[in-house]
Amino acid sequence: MRIITGIAKGKKLKAPDGMNTRPTADRVKESLFNIINDICFEADVLDLFAGTGNLGLEALSRYARRCIFVENDKDTLKILKENVRELKFSDKGEVLNKEALNALDIFAASGEKFDIIFLDPPYGKGLIEKSIAKIDKHDILKSNGIVVSEYDQTDEMPEKIGNLVIYRTQKYGRTKISFWTKEENYD
């Protein structure tokens, strides 16, 4: 697992032992960022189920303004903090030890809004749908922002949740990536 391009190109990321995290494969990440690369520059990014920080760190390497990483697992959190520090993104990356859905409530209360929100939760638990519903309810996605969700091909995903709609889905082996935006941007 490495940073593909930008100011941290080629840097390797640490990952915890075992299968508690499921980092996005490099080829999937490369395809995903080819699609969203133009909006990374100066973006405010949320990596909600951050794990090792793979997606948020890639966005920072591509000149995002900042990224908030949310991770609940204590062991993974240590590695995430190391990755942020090792890639020298401590000034742009904030790491929060919170449960993801609770973090969305905190962002809403503080008026926080994001250009890009990455959702790569554990598969098969309905966490994408719950997260999208809260993102919509709390209006934490900027007007032209996008949500990028990663899930298993066997997971059913609605085309619309609240005012957020899927405008593109890509399939990579057993992995699907869906791109969401506000409904008014889709028409």
106-153: pLDDT as tens digits: 999 999 999 999 999 988 888 999 999 999 999 999 999 999 999 988
> Residue 19: what pLDDT?
47
Mean pLDDT of 21-47: 86
DSSP class of residue 99? -
> Residue 165: what pLDDT?
96
Overall fold of domain 26-186? Rossmann fold (3.40.50)
* Residue of 102 and 17 predicted with greater confidence: 102
Position 20 pLDDT exceeds 80: no
* Residue of 20 and 156 predicted with greater confidence: 156
72-99: pLDDT as tens digits: 999 999 999 999 999 999 999 999 999 9
Mean pLDDT of 36-55: 95
Distance of alpha carbon 27 from alpha carbon 37, whole angstroms: 15
Spatial CA neighbour of 105 closest among 81, 70, 73: 70
HSE-CB at 164 with a 13 A cutoff on CA atoms is 30
Decide: helix, strand or coil at residue 49: coil
Mean pLDDT of 155-172: 93
Position 10 pLDDT exceeds 60: yes
Distance of alpha carbon 58 from alpha carbon 2, whole angstroms: 9
Q: Which amino acid is at 40?
A: C
* Residue of 150 and 1 predicted with greater confidence: 150
List C-alpha distances in Å: 132 to 48, 62, 82, 93, 103.
11, 25, 29, 23, 13
Taking the alpha carbons of 111, 151, 122, 94 in that order, is the dihedral positive or negative? negative
* Residue of 31 and 42 predicted with greater confidence: 42
> Residue 153: what pLDDT?
87
Lowest mean pLDDT among 24-38, 65-79, 128-142, 170-184: 24-38
Distance of alpha carbon 50 from alpha carbon 24, whole angstroms: 11
Assigned token pair, 179: 């791109």
> Residue 24: what pLDDT?
67
